[in-house]
Chains A and B, each alone.
Chain A
Amino acid sequence: EDQVTQSPEALRLQEGESSSLNCSYTVSGLRGLFWYRQDPGKGPEFLFTLYSAGEEKEKERLKATLTKKESFLHITAPKPEDSATYLCAVQAMDSNYQLIWGAGTKLIIKP
């Protein structure tokens, strides 16, 4: 069964304290792995798509990496505005482009 597990559920960091969020997945055939950011009361905002093991993508303070079993979202020197829930999802080859979602990691950055 296709499944996505994110850890930790919540993470509190001081401003400037770097860390990583984990997304472990099992899928019959991976078409893509997606990272989104969601603020309260808003729709998810697209961050990255990763397609194959070894791939890395960066955007400002965020860097996403992918292996055959998991993905990491590294956040470097975070700022309070990076506080949000970060969602990971996978898309299987044999799906109608549907996403299988993790439960998310709530990130809180204290000034």
Chain B
Amino acid sequence: GAVVSQHPSWVICKSGTSVKIECRSLDFQATTMFWYRQFPKQSLMLMATSNEGSKATYEQGVEKDKFLINHASLTLSTLTVTSAHPEDSSFYICSARDPYRGDTQYFGPGTRLTVL
């Protein structure tokens, strides 16, 4: 099946620093990747949609200058949380759309971010 990896799986950082999370599709090329945020016991909240080679489209209420998304290749997207604050602590999950498997989104394992 389609495999998506995320790195790191967890990260702890100090307030004011920046953190980069990588999302890779390992066995398929993903023209579209998505970034989600999930709070405890809640469903997934879409943050942004990125198409390879284009600027990401952010959902209402998501600060594009704080959550920088780069989708430079068909297998790699990165999310950088800039000047992180404790309220940015959350579970971040990426997904990649496989156009050859019915446009299904395959998800990474997630990254737990804790900002002290």
Interface size class of A (residues with CB under 8 A): 20 to 34
A97 contacts B110, CB within 8 Å?
Answer: no
Contact of B32 among A32, A41, A87, A97 (CB under 8 A): A97
Mark interface residues in B53-90 (1 if CB within 8 Å of A CB, else 0): 00001000000000000000000000000000000000
CB nearest to B59 among chain A residues: A98
In the complex, chain A residues whose CB is within 8 Å of the CB of B2: 46
Q: Is the interface of B mostly helix, strand, loop or mixed?
A: strand
A98 contacts B44, CB within 8 Å?
Answer: no
B49 contacts A98, CB within 8 Å?
Answer: yes
In the complex, chain A residues whose CB is within 8 Å of the CB of B108: 43
Contact of A46 among B42, B46, B104, B110 (CB under 8 A): B104
Check B97 for interface membership: any CB of A closer than 8 A: yes
Would you give the shortest CB distance from B40 to chain A, in whole angstroms? 10
Chain A residues with CB under 8 Å of chain B are 31-32, 34, 36, 41-46, 49, 51, 87, 91, 96-99, 101-104
